[in-house]
Structure formats: C-alpha cells, structure tokens
Amino acid sequence: MNNTLKVFRAMHDLSQAQLAEDIGVSRQTIISIEKKKYKKRIS
C-alpha cells in the first residue's frame, strides 16, 4: 500500500513536524493521516 503523504514528505525532505507547521496542523494530524486513522471534523 502506498502512502502518498509519506512519499511527498520524503521527496521534499520534510519531517512530520515541518509539514504540520507549514500547513497549519498538528504533528498528530499528520501521523493520523499517514496511518489512515484521520477523521475529518467540521467545526
């Protein structure tokens, strides 16, 4: 199974923390997305 977010991070030499900061989310959100456990919430 291909994890496109993880591949994207590797291609751009970004850590989970760097990507999270760049896009304005928490590092835990990036981890959840990569593990396919992210539940989008509408607030």
Structure tokens at 19: 């990507």
Say what the pLDDT of residue 2 is.
64
pLDDT at 27: 96
Q: How far is CA 13 from the centre of its chain?
A: 13
* Mean pLDDT to the nearest integer, 1-20: 90
Residue, of 26 and 2, whose pLDDT is higher: 26
Chain mean pLDDT for the chain? 89
d(CA 36, CA 22): 20
Element of type H or E holding 15: none
Whether the per-residue pLDDT at 40 is higher than 80: the answer is: no
Tell me phi and psi for residue 22, to 5 degrees: -60, -35
Q: Mean per-residue pLDDT for 17-39?
A: 92
CA distance 10 to 39: 24
